[in-house]
Structure 1
Amino acid sequence: MRVSIYLFREEVQDFGRLLREFPDGARLPEQRDVIDGVELDCEIWVMPQDPKPPMWAKYVSPIVSVSDLKNSTASVAVFLKVDDRFFAVCFGYAHSLLNGELLEPEFGLRVTANMADPLKVAAMQVRTLSENSRQQRSQTANKTRVAEFDLEVEKEWLRYLKADVTDGVDWASGVGGSQSLSLTTSQGLRDFPEILRALLSEFHSDSYKAKFPYIDNFVPIPKGDPVREKLWGELIAAVENPQGKKVGVACPDDLVGADVAYWKIFGDRKRREPIEELTFENVVAQLGDFGENREKLKIIPLNSADAPIRTKRNLCDYFVFEMDFNGETYALCLGQWFRIASDYVSEINKRVVEIEDVTGSLNLPPWKGGREGDYNKAACKAQGHIHLDARNFMIGGPHQKVEVCDFLTRGYDFVCVKKMEDSATMSHLFSQAAVSADLYSVNAVGQGANAIGYADHVRSLYRAKWGASDGVEANRRMVLAIATDKPGPIAQSLYFFSKVNLVQRAMDLRKSGFKVGIAKIDR
């Protein structure tokens, strides 16, 4: 049997706090007594459902009779107390009965990491902690090691892990989890106190460090930590005045791929129009006094039939935010605050500083205003570079086009230019450079009028202006030119998650045979 197990935080002292609150008029769960002879410190709650027509019935009923078809799903949550800690063992959709605000945020992940055989990993899911939050789930047909998943686990928050257990565990065969733990076991519920005791021991263990050391790159901050109130205050200030702040909104994990028609914000008695596109600007436009109502505001996704797709969540679960405070770097994602491990921050900063700063030698003109395209044209005219901005190389079909760079210098510098607005913009810049370098390294053949190799195309442009490139091509360099009004070197101005991205892309660029440089453009 596969069961879902949740652990409540230490502050929970009795069964009375385990169920969530239900609105007036809602159907309430029913408590059931255990049968005679069962000696478990537990409570059992069921949520029966009346049979009702499926959602699609009204669409097919005009052509076929389906009135006899009804759906019904019953759920049960078994709450158990073991060693003064409370667990929920859930079947069906019983997780919707739980008081989610009192659950341990990484119980399933850490237990899985401790119990997992690192050579028999079945699935992983990661998420970036930035305002351009991206999540990616990968699984393999055959269980294998982490390296086979092609995920950037060191720079992203590991949200989910699934694997076979290590040798020596005879009460479970497979584990997987994030907040909850999915456990495959042949043991009955009467044996669960001992199983839960073993899981609690695994939760407190740090044996995962040898197998999955990057889990600690992002450390959740527990509810009782006094720094949380300061961090919430900083988020409120950023929402009210986002200029220059690293703040945005992103969809929670469990909505990836869901058919969301719109979102609705509520909770403070204010009438609001539905939000069709989930953007930071659209959300902020509806907030009102966010500081006063932060804990009241909820958000719920609905489908085209106006039916909720998920239960309501705190609006703060949708915010992503990054800030520095008292020498530490913090991030908010899915309503959870994280402290970025100081060793990880130091390592990333060290690797960024090692990237050559070519601001002085390239001597790019200041960006005095206007659009990026105007700046690139002006820079090429003033310094004699080959202008390549928006001059795409067709690598495949009509939608597969690649910009080589914004301009090419006589010294064979591929210069890619962007204003430093947010980490999403920086991510686009770094990805553009990495793709271009990769295509150059394999001399990918283009299409149509560009039916020559990518590198040959660049060489022909260079040759037409300056002659043969033989003397300089071996020193080819990809330069990431970033325009900012922040003082100091560009390495000190970048957002932390942009630095993480830069370090990874610099490795990719070097693998493609390019040197790497960064340059500051004064604004």
Structure 2
Amino acid sequence: MPNPTHEVTIYRLSAAVPDIDAFLETLPGTYLDESASDDIAFPEYAGAGAVAFHWRRAPAPAPWVKAATRLIGPLPHDYETLDCGALLQLDVDGDRYAIGFGSGFRAVPEQFKDHGFGLRFTIRAVDADRVRSVVRRSMTGLGRQDATHVPSGIPIGHIGVSEYTELVGRLAGMVDPDDLGLDRGKPVRVEGSAGLRLRIPLDRDRLVALLRRISEICARTVPDDFAFVEAIAPVRDDWRLGDLDRRLDDRLRDAAGGAGDDTGTRLAAAVPMDLADLAHQARSHLIKIGSAELLCRGDLDLEVVLSRCRLQHRVPPVRALRRGEVRMCEDDEGRRVIGQASADKWLAAAVRVKEREYFLVEGTWYEGGSEYFASVRRKIAGLFRSAPSLSLPAWPDDLGPLPGSGKRGEAVYNEWVQDTLGKSSFLNLDRTGARTEFHGANGFEPCDLLGPGNELVHVKAGRGTEPFSHLFSQALVSAEALYLRRDARASFAKLVRDTSRGARELPEGWRPAKVVLAMKVNRKAPLTAATLFPNAQIALAHLAQTLAGHGIEVEVIAIPRDG
């Protein structure tokens, strides 16, 4: 006779709840507290501590009672005809699990759930070639959520998840029963998000053994096929969010820390994802944190943002940041606003807590493991060549605009490169626009320099590697537009011809074959895949992966500093 089973959702309780008394203190005013009658049981489990709650409400059938009785013990006879529920808590080798029957799942307080548990288990246990369903959400700020369901199973690589721009919130697939210690022949279907849904054995010893196997699987290294999932898992635990905000508060109060220090918290300026396409048009930024407004010409100055946060004495710096606003302007005076977002969306942060790394993106905290970032670095390491394919001159420290020019930064360097090496080698196309119906009146900036082999060269300078994420976004928009749209290529060909005054012509049928990201870092440490800010590493990996699908090569070149 086969061993009976019952499908349930298992939750693992976080470290926020120290003991059963703390759990009971949360019940007043909750679903369980509203029950007409409730009771507590202490079933005996070999090798595990157990406590169970059961209750009843208004009349309704309860088909789960027979299964729960095997695991909890005798329940009142009228439970089979009442709206009732049960919650079984098991402490197995220090990991606490909660299993709900009927409406029992409602009695688990949200602040006590380990919200990453179900997904963490699933991506370590599921066969990567037999994924049944994936629910993911875009990180573009548009709130888009997509679901893919394939009842027969499909390799994760065929589902089309964008590894670096989408959050996987739920995943279902098939698991080898031997891996779970179950004596059944067919693969087991599991579904993981915050909780883990699967069929459990209705035998106490077998259930403890299963939970012990679940703990062991959760401790494994995530397979490469699923490594991207944990990189952008949102943090939902209130206690962890509070801890991360407190750490960021401490870092924001540190006036002497600069953009990177030895406290384990790194900060970087960022551009909100829905404004990335407009970044090349920005000439200034208007910062409003607290009552004062400050104008920052050129790129957003992170230190100005941090100093405004530190001056807000009535509220914590993080709260001041979230209440503040940054406006992107297309003029130097901050009068013509082309985009705006809350100030926290203009800041990227990375915090390391023990073996986990957390990072702030678009005002939201995400969790990533060190193994994921190692895999990202491996993917982008090949973009940094020991011998660059193009030779860009060193950026003179004293390079400035001609009198009355008004140009700054990259614009001056790009013009100087063209004047120094000639239009046939590097044609200056900085602050020009290729026009299409899709990209609006101003079009899009195709590149800063057109290389000798018609490479699209994008140039950026910064005090660290942090400002480069939106450079990658700009390069992606440009390359995809020129590859996919005929009107974009026609406009670009005319732009090249007109700007060079006939000295340069794109060949018939041209499409972009190579994108070069030329970056100058004002610091002693060399520019490498490992020294990029984590968010910039992810953006670069996404850029390279996407353009590789079009057959477009990506290379990163460090522009040397003068002297």
Structure 2 letter corresponding to 1:354 = R
3-state SS of 1:478 partner? strand
What is the identity, as a one-letter code, of the residue corresponding to 2:378?
Answer: E
Q: What are the equivalent positions in structure 2 for 1:52-201 lying under 5 Å apart? A: 76=85, 78-81=87-90, 83=92, 85-90=95-100, 97-98=107-108, 102-124=112-134, 138-142=146-150, 143-153=153-163, 160-166=170-176, 174-183=189-198, 185=199, 194-195=206-207, 197-201=209-213
Q: Is the 8 A contact 1:356 1:517 kept in 2?
A: no
Aligned to 2:557: 518
Query: Are the aligned partners of 1:124 and 1:137 in contact in 2 as well (CA < 8 Å)?
Result: no
Matched-pair contact (CA < 8 Å) for 2:168–2:229: no
Check 1:123–1:521 CA distance in 2 against 1; reply closer, same or farther (3 A cut).
farther
AA paired with 1:240? Answer: R
Q: State the identity %.
A: 16
Which residue of structure 2 lines up, in the alignment, with residue 255 of structure 1?
none
Among 338, 345, 350, which residue is 1:322 paired with? 350
Inter-partner Cα distance in structure 2 for 1:122 and 1:325: 34
8 Å contact from structure 2 (residues 11, 98) kept in 1: yes
Q: Does 2:250 align with 1:237?
A: yes
Quick check: 1:354 aligned with 2:375? no
Matched to 1:386, the amino acid is: N
Counterpart position of 2:457: 415
- CA deviations over 1:193-231 (Å, ceiling 9, x no partner): 7346414313313677557462697699xxxxxxx9998
Inter-CA distance 325–503: structure 2 relative to 1 (3 Å threshold): same
1:506–1:81 CA distance, 2 compared to 1 (3 A): closer
Q: Which residue does the alignment assign to 2:544?
A: 506
2:537 corresponds to which letter in structure 1? K
Helix, strand or coil at the partner of 1:438: helix
Q: 1:139 is matched by which residue type in structure 2? A: A
User: Using the alignment, how far apart are the partners of 1:478 and 1:229 within structure 2?
Assistant: 41
**Aligned AA (1:478):** V
Question: Does structure 2 conserve the Cα–Cα contact (< 8 Å) formed by 1:8 and 1:103?
Answer: yes
Which residue is 2:518 aligned to?
Answer: 481
Distance 2:247 2:44 in 1: 49
Q: Residue 21 in 1 paired to residue 12 in 2? A: no
Residue 331 (structure 1) aligns with: 358
Q: Distance in 2 between the 1:100 and 1:488 partners?
A: 44
Once the 2 structures are TM-superposed, how far is the Cα of residue 147 of structure 1 from its aligned partner?
0.8
Contact 2:518 2:559 in 1 (8 A): yes
The 3 A distance-change label for structure 1 pair 125 and 133 is farther
What residue is the counterpart of 1:378 in the other structure? Answer: 412
Q: Secondary structure at the match of 2:127?
A: strand
Counterpart CA distance in 2 for 1:104 and 1:76 is 21
| Amino acid of the structure 1 residue aligned with 2:540 | L
TM-score (norm 1): 0.60
**Kept in 1: contact 2:31–2:106 (CA 8 A):** no
Code of the aligned partner of 1:347: R
Distance 1:208 1:463 in 2: 54
Aligned partner of 1:118: which letter? A
- Offset at residue 394 of structure 1 (A): 0.8
1:466 paired residue number:
503
Q: Give the letter for the 2:158 counterpart.
A: E
- Which ranges in structure 1 are unaligned for 5 or more consecutive residues? 50-73, 221-227, 252-271, 274-279, 300-315
Q: 1:128 to 1:372 in 2, by over 3 A?
A: farther
Q: Given the alignment of the two structures, is residue 6 of structure 1 paired with residue 6 of structure 2, yes or no?
A: no
Q: TM-score, normalised on structure 2?
A: 0.56
What residue identity is the alignment partner of 2:516?
Answer: V
CA deviation after TM superposition for structure 1 residue 78, in Å:
0.4
3-state secondary structure, aligned to 1:402: coil
Question: Distance in 2 between the 1:95 and 1:422 partners?
Answer: 48
Q: 8 Å contact 1:128–1:134 — kept in the other structure?
A: yes
CA 1:508–1:455: 2 relative to 1, 3 Å: farther
Distance in 2 between residues matched to 1:75 and 1:461, nearest whole Å = 77
Whether contact under 8 Å (1:162, 1:175) holds in the other structure is yes
Paired with 2:400 and 2:247, the residues of 1 have a C-alpha distance of 31
After superposition, the Cα gap between the structure-2 partners of 1:79 and 1:373, relative to the gap in structure 1 and judged at 3 Å, is farther
2:267 to 226, 241, 246: 246
CA contact (8 A) 1:387 1:408 kept: yes
Change beyond 3 A, Cα 1:336–1:90: farther
- 33, 57, 64: which one pairs with 2:39? 33
Q: Out of 321, 340, 351, which is 2:370 matched to?
A: 340
Counterpart of 2:482 in 1: which secondary structure?
Answer: helix
| 1:468-510, Cα deviation, whole Å (9 max, x unpaired) | 4569x89964232345433343336521331233244234445
Q: How far apart are 1:11 and its partner, in Å?
A: 9.6
Read off the aligned partner of 2:190 and give its amino acid letter: V
Cα deviations across residues 167-216 of structure 1 (Å, max 9, x unaligned)?
A: 67659953222332133x4x79x557734641431331367755746269
Aligned length: 431
Post-superposition offset of 1:360:
5.7
